[in-house]
């Protein structure tokens, strides 16, 4: 049990450090509107997507899983969401600061939970059941780190 608690502590500490690294990496890019790969998203789009997925998917699922009995989640179509909600005029620094603040709030929320909350389960409409709060945080971190690599 001690190892599991240490893992979870490390997980949320890495979540917050990855969010900060992501912000710094995005802000270090000279032109955030030029895609790093032909046909791909530019850094501004990647930042908006990463922020939105953290807030609307993984953070949301983690909080509901902690607070509700076996909640069910629908699929999130990131491309469709971007097509409808992406704002090219949103200042990158404000977007990224909001992203980091949201991750910091999630970090504080997770630290306040009893140990048992990490094992609470939820369901996904298309993927099935058994998704724990820990699973959603692991996926959130993996998603941030994936986009951190693409920006660097």
Q: Which helix (H) or strand (E) holds 65?
A: helix 59-67
Give the residue-averaged pLDDT of 21-36.
92
Residue 2 has pLDDT above 90, yes or no: no
Q: What is the pLDDT of residues 81-116, one digit of tens each?
A: 999 999 999 999 999 999 999 999 999 999 999 999
Looking at the domain 2-151, which fold is it? 1.20.120
β-strands 121-124, 72-73: how paired?
A: parallel
Instruction: State the Cα–Cα distance between residues 82 and 78, nearest whole angstrom.
Output: 6
Instruction: State the Cα–Cα distance between residues 122 and 73, nearest whole angstrom.
Output: 8
1-5, 90-94, 147-151: segment of lowest average pLDDT: 1-5
> Which pLDDT belongs to residue 11?
97
Domain ranges of the chain: 2-151
Closest CA to 70 of 137, 131, 121: 121
> Which pLDDT belongs to residue 142?
98
Q: How confident is the model at residue 130 (pLDDT cuts 50, 70, 90)?
A: very high
Q: What is the pLDDT of residues 32-56, one digit of tens each?
A: 998 877 778 999 999 999 999 999 9
Instruction: State the Cα–Cα distance between residues 26 and 41, nearest whole angstrom.
Output: 13
Say which residue the tokens 């998603």 belong to: 143
pTM for this one? 0.94
Q: What is the pLDDT of residues 65-84, one digit of tens each?
A: 999 999 999 999 999 999 99
Instruction: State the Cα–Cα distance between residues 106 and 140, nearest whole angstrom.
Output: 11
């Amino acid at each position: 049990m001690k190892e599991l608690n240490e893992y979870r502590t490390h997980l949320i500490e890495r979540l917050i450090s990855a969010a900060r690294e992501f912000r710094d990496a995005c802000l270090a890019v000279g032109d955030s509107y030029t895609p790093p790969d032909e046909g791909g998203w530019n850094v501004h789009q990647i930042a908006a997507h990463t922020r939105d997925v953290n807030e609307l998917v993984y953070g949301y699922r983690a909080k509901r899983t902690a607070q509700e009995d076996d909640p069910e989640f629908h699929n999130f179509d990131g491309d469709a969401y971007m097509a409808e909600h992406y704002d090219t005029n949103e200042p990158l620094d404000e977007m990224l600061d909001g992203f980091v603040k949201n991750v910091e709030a999630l970090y504080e929320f997770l630290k306040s939970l009893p140990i048992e909350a990490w094992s609470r389960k939820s369901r996904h409409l298309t993927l099935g059941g058994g998704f724990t709060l820990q699973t959603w945080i692991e996926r959130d971190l993996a998603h941030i780190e994936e986009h951190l690599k693409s920006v660097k």
